[in-house]
Amino acid sequence: MCILLLVIQVSLALRVSLPVSQKRTIFLLQREVYSSANSNSNEDNEKMSPPVSRAPTMSRGVLFSQVKRTRKVSELWSLVEELGTLRDEREYTIVISAWGRVRKPDMAIALLSQMENEGLRPNVITYNAVISACEKGRQWGRACALLEEMPSKGLIPNVVTYSAAISACEKGSQWQKALSILQNMQSNGVQPNVVTYSAAISACGKGGQWQKAVQLLDTMRMHGVQPNVVSYNAAMSACEKVGHWQTVLNLLDQLKCDTSLEPSLISYNTAIAACAKHGQLARTQELLNDMEIAGIQPDLATYRTLLVGCEIEAKQQHSSPFSFDDTDQIFQKNQHSSTGSTIDPMAMLKHIIADMRERQLSDITSFKLAIAACEHAGHWETALDLARQRDAALTKHKSSFQHRHDDTYRSGKNSEGLTS
């Protein structure tokens, strides 16, 4: 069977025509391969479980409506089986898009080959769907190959096509290829939009090319394309990755100055990470104040980053122990410190832990970070207290899990008793 499947896959990849009688066999074999490949994972077993049979009286229109909505592999298999033979380009495109949505690019590419073997001519929308499927499935090479073959099929890529291909390159950390596609689309007279530029900026960020990422923001404006929050966040992330916290703060200020945009939680988290990791703990406090004014609540990622900042600051300061009763006064004093001044990491740490506990956001990683900060500051008693809290939280979590497991076991035994 493995040899047969290999032949089938190679045939599809090379666009070799197969007899119509074998297409149903290919479909079933591909389904069997996906099911067996995921048999060792409980989660994937749920996704790839055999579909529940449907009433054959369901109309074709209703079936396609469900195909457009579903995000479950097993449900999509069932719907495709019930649809049977796809009749035209539109139906193929809908199903191809669905396979992309559930991150199965192999199935999308196989359907593209099948429709060509049926004598149907894919259009630009069909290719966009397949390229998007490759992007979601992190198959940047296939996405680029499909883009390059379109002219030979008499098809002209549009902005959606190019944007999907650039996004695929971004997910594959191929910043040079992403910029090459961006240049090609402009040479071909296709104007990039905000989605295109944002994907290219993100690609540069993943490749460590922070200067190119920032330059693309200027290029957007020069070409009359207004950056959005995603564009700014991508550029800020590019700078944060290489430690340019000043540039991150400058970009955040630009974003705030744009009256049509508002910074998001991601914007602030990126800025806080840039400052916290480079000894700018006082600036993180200012950013927290800005978040509060903007009505944005910190999340677990925010708090974890702040704890990392506390640890770094503690290393730098080697703070001497102080009475925990005086923490609030010290915190309030430092809270109004000028930009660039120091802030007591232990005072800030106490408030972070308190906020996390109040919002029920504490986790084991956060405790580890907080304990590390205390150790570096020489606050061993606080570190031991946090360790006890961590152990208590672990015990509570294990107890809760055991109770759920026992309830599930008893429920299963009761079900067996009822059916026996």
Higher confidence at residue 100 or residue 1?
100
Give residue 342's pLDDT. 67
Give residue 229's pLDDT. 97
Higher confidence at residue 110 or residue 408?
110
Give residue 138's pLDDT. 93
Give residue 190's pLDDT. 95
Give residue 350's pLDDT. 83
Give residue 420's pLDDT. 43
Label residue 31 by pLDDT band (50, 70, 90): low
Radius of gyration of the chain (CA): 27
- Across the range 364-390, mean pLDDT stands at 73
DSSP secondary structure string, 352-368? Answer: HHHHHHHTT---HHHHH
Q: Counting beta carbons within 10 angstroms of the beta carbon of residue 1, is it exposed (0 to 12), middle (13 to 18) or buried (19 or more)?
A: exposed
Give residue 398's pLDDT. 59
213-223 pLDDT per residue, tens: 999 999 999 99
For the chain, first and last CA: distance in Å? 40
Q: Lowest-confidence range among 118-122, 140-144, 320-324?
A: 320-324
Higher confidence at residue 374 or residue 12?
374
Q: Lowest-confidence range among 30-39, 77-86, 261-270?
A: 30-39
Give residue 397's pLDDT. 58
The two three-digit tokens of residue 85, written as one number: 């033979």
**Is the pLDDT assigned to residue 122 strictly greater than 60?**
yes
Q: Counting beta carbons within 10 angstroms of the beta carbon of residue 105, is it exposed (0 to 12), middle (13 to 18) or buried (19 or more)?
A: buried
DSSP secondary structure string, 73-111? Answer: HHHHHHHHHHH-S--SHHHHHHHHHHHHHTT-HHHHHHH
**Is the pLDDT assigned to residue 47 strictly greater than 50?**
no
Q: Lowest-confidence range among 16-20, 164-168, 233-237, 387-391?
A: 16-20
- Across the range 163-182, mean pLDDT stands at 96
Contact between residue 304 and residue 369 where contact means Cβ atoms under 8 Å apart: yes
